[in-house]
Amino acid sequence: MTIYKAPLDDLRFALFDVLGAERTLTALQGGEAHSRDLLDAVLEEAGRLSEQLLAPTNAPADAEGCHFDKATQTVTTPKGFKEAFKAFAEGGWTGLTNPEAYGGQALPGVLGTATTEIFQSGNLAWSLYPLLSEGATHAMELHGEEWQRERFMKPIVAGRWTGTMCLTEPQAGSDLGLLKTRAEPAAADADGHAVYKISGTKIFISAGEHDLAENIVHLVLARLPDAPEGSRGISMFIVPKFKLDADGSPGARNTVAAGAIEHKMGIHACSTCVMNFDGAEGYLIGKPHKGLAAMFTMMNAARLSVGVQGLALAERALQNSLNYARERLQSRSLSGPKFPDKPADNLLVQPDVRRMLLTQRAFVEGSRALVLYTALQTDIEHRATDEAARQKAGELVAFLIPIAKGMTTELAQECTKEALQIYGGHGYIAENGMEQFVRDARIITLYEGTTGIQAADLLGRKILQLQGVGAKHFLQEISAFCQQHSADESLRGLIGPLAVATKEWSDLTVSLAQRTQANPEELGAAATDYLYYSGYVTLAYLWVRSVAAAEAGTQSAAFKQAKRDTAAFYFARILPRTLVHKAAIEAGVKTLPEIA
């Protein structure tokens, strides 16, 4: 049985002290009411819900899993899921960041990111049901017609229905251009809206079928009859599980159904479905053949949320491994007994155990700052009063998303591994709960684009195609910060190395851009190492900002000392990893020759 307590102090610190979110948010359009007090109250309420209703279900729901009934093609979710989802919907969480016009609360995206962390820590598998809905409402908000939003988005915002994203097919994963699902025009419906009949098989559909909601709205990628080949011939459709009656309530069953659920390494409690569309009726959303572009506008939000999953799992794993290291008595300190009245010292006296804990802490808090920073830029992108500010924030977001997703999910692999390792053999035993974090974490470097896809997006699209416009903003911001704080006594030993790393990052980016233009294979040979390199420097920047914020803050001396210690640890023992990635980048594609 694992513990979980929402890390409210650290969330507040990151939001308000490090990122100055209150100042930023209250200056945005519609943000007048988004004071620290309001946000604080929402965080506390999210903490209560997660601690009380979600966290206790995490292990039992993993053991129980989802059950698929072949005869009725229905999925039963684990015990407690319905109750938690009901409470979640009644609390208004399903519409936290949606516009008020559709029943949402129009709260800032960065607050949604923070509460998503809390819910995902409570139960990642459970949190995927509302998460997929978010993607669907987002797509309808951006690309749907008003009647579509009225009929399909509002009930999701209200928490009565949920949504899915149906992209992957057996032969089409990372390469959606290969997808085969077809959409044939059919007779219009009673209201005169054009209807399409969708046929094909989709796999890996999270929350594709379940018992938490009255209806499920699938957003499906498919090809129209006149579609060009490849990724330019993909359109997006709204396909509800139950077709709607005249009053908008769920009516006749549509011909879309789950054919099976997958047996997976982890997130057992998430219903991952094979979905069969057999002439299922749906509506085109957005323009014909522009489905992939529409899907990609959702993708940023989805990728950021998956990054948050890494943080969420790592946070809970850290809480438990720290707790275990405090309580487990084994062996004596190398410099003599520290608890002479006990049969042995606790694990915390071992420097190697502290190394594993500090690694987790550095990554968890660094990742949190990164995803919240990115989310706050999203708010600026959407609601700044100044057009130039909106554009700059959008460019920053586009640049940071692959780092936030790729880096945070990979670091979560290391964090959950180290957390388990601290338990020794007991970490391998299911009832202690640590191995579930490792299993659950393993999906996050795969879905919503593998780490390789994030890396290709970062280097190929964000740096090369978009000429590194987001990177330039970010590097300038770091340089400005370094200059501003160059004489800051409290940041001694941090600003210098950060400035050096930032300069090196900039140089590396320029030389890499030149090299990949000469030989596109160099892009693939460097991308993942460039992603890591970028990630480690980004976290270094955010750690220095954290130390600066702690210095200026009103927290306890112990809190501030922990930030200084973790930052010093990060700079001494983690940041040197950039050396390895630099070497790999410079080694180039010639060190990755053909394999027969």
User: Considering only residues 526-545, where is the footprint of its own copies by CB under 8 A?
Assistant: 527-528
Site size for its own copies (CB under 8 A)? 86
Residue 60 within binding range of its own copies, rule CB under 8 A: no
Give the single-character DSSP code of 77: P
Q: Identify residue 421 by its one-letter amino acid code.
A: Q
Residue 525 within binding range of its own copies, rule CB under 8 A: yes
Q: What is residue 412's three-state secondary structure?
A: helix
Q: Which is nearer to its own copies, 236 or 574 (CB)?
A: 574
Q: Which is nearer to its own copies, 442 or 473 (CB)?
A: 442
Residue 493 within binding range of its own copies, rule CB under 8 A: no
Residue 425 within binding range of its own copies, rule CB under 8 A: yes
What residues pair up with 258 in beta bridges, in sequence order? 275
Among positions 91-150, residues that touch its own copies (CB under 8 A) are none
Q: What is residue 279's three-state secondary structure?
A: strand
Q: Which is nearer to its own copies, 377 or 416 (CB)?
A: 416
Residue 175 within binding range of its own copies, rule CB under 8 A: yes
Instruction: Return d(Cα 158, Cα 24) in angstroms, integer.
Output: 28
Instruction: Return d(Cα 46, Cα 54) in angstroms, integer.
Output: 10
Do 124 and 313 form a contact (C-beta atoms < 8 A)? Answer: yes
Among positions 547-576, residues that touch its own copies (CB under 8 A) are 558, 562, 565, 568-569, 572-573, 576
Among positions 26-55, residues that touch its own copies (CB under 8 A) are none
Give the single-character DSSP code of 171: T
- Which of 428, 465, 476, 477 binds its own copies (CB under 8 A)? It is 428
- Which of 69, 189, 521, 552 binds its own copies (CB under 8 A)? It is 521
Residue 409 within binding range of its own copies, rule CB under 8 A: no
Residue 518 within binding range of its own copies, rule CB under 8 A: no
Q: Which is nearer to its own copies, 199 or 350 (CB)?
A: 350
Give which of 274, 190, 12 is closest to 117, Cα–Cα.
12
Q: Which is nearer to its own copies, 238 or 261 (CB)?
A: 261
Q: Which is nearer to its own copies, 20 or 230 (CB)?
A: 230
Among positions 192-211, residues that touch its own copies (CB under 8 A) are 204
Q: Which is nearer to its own copies, 359 or 538 (CB)?
A: 359
Torsion of CA 437, 365, 380, 107, to 10 degrees: 60
Q: What are phi and psi of 238, to 5 degrees?
A: -95, 120
- Which of 329, 500, 510, 552 binds its own copies (CB under 8 A)? It is 329
Residue 456 within binding range of its own copies, rule CB under 8 A: yes
Q: At what angle do helices 387-422 and 291-327 cross, to 10 degrees?
A: 40
- The least CB distance from residue 278 to its own copies, in Å, is 23
Q: Which is nearer to its own copies, 147 or 296 (CB)?
A: 296
Active site annotation includes 448:
yes
- The least CB distance from residue 568 to its own copies, in Å, is 6
Q: How far apart are the first and last CA of the chain?
A: 48
Tokens 């950039």 sit on residue:
578
- The least CB distance from residue 177 to its own copies, in Å, is 8
Options 29-37, 284-292, 397-405, 581-589: segment touching its own copies (CB under 8 A): 581-589
- The least CB distance from residue 377 to its own copies, in Å, is 28
Among positions 226-285, residues that touch its own copies (CB under 8 A) are 262-266
Residue 319 within binding range of its own copies, rule CB under 8 A: no
What lies within 8 Å, CB to CB, of 437 at 6+ separation is: 2, 313, 316, 317, 416, 419, 420
Residue 498 within binding range of its own copies, rule CB under 8 A: no
> Three-state SS string across 221-256, please?
EEECCCCCCHHHHEEEEEEECEEECCCCCEEEECCE
Residue 358 within binding range of its own copies, rule CB under 8 A: yes
- Which of 58, 350, 367, 538 binds its own copies (CB under 8 A)? It is 350
Options 3-11, 37-45, 193-201, 580-588: segment touching its own copies (CB under 8 A): 580-588
What lies within 8 Å, CB to CB, of 89 at 6+ separation is: 158, 159, 160
Of 448, 477, 521, 586, which residue is the catalytic one? 448
Q: Is 328 exposed, middle or buried (0-12, 13-18, 19+ CB in 10 A)?
A: middle
What residues pair up with 244 in beta bridges, in sequence order? 250
- Which of 19, 179, 396, 455 binds its own copies (CB under 8 A)? It is 455
Do 543 and 571 form a contact (C-beta atoms < 8 A)? Answer: yes
Task: Calculate ∠ Cα 159-161-165, nearest 5°.
Answer: 110
Task: Calculate ∠ Cα 406-453-363, nearest 5°.
Answer: 10
- Which of 364, 438, 463, 550 binds its own copies (CB under 8 A)? It is 438
Binding track over 368-397 against its own copies, x by CB under 8 A: ------------------------------
Separation in Å, CA 427 to CA 205, 246, 421, 439: 31, 55, 6, 12
Q: Identify residue 452 by its one-letter amino acid code.
A: G
- The least CB distance from residue 175 to its own copies, in Å, is 4
Torsion of CA 113, 117, 123, 124, to 10 degrees: 70
Q: Active-site residues: which are they?
A: 448
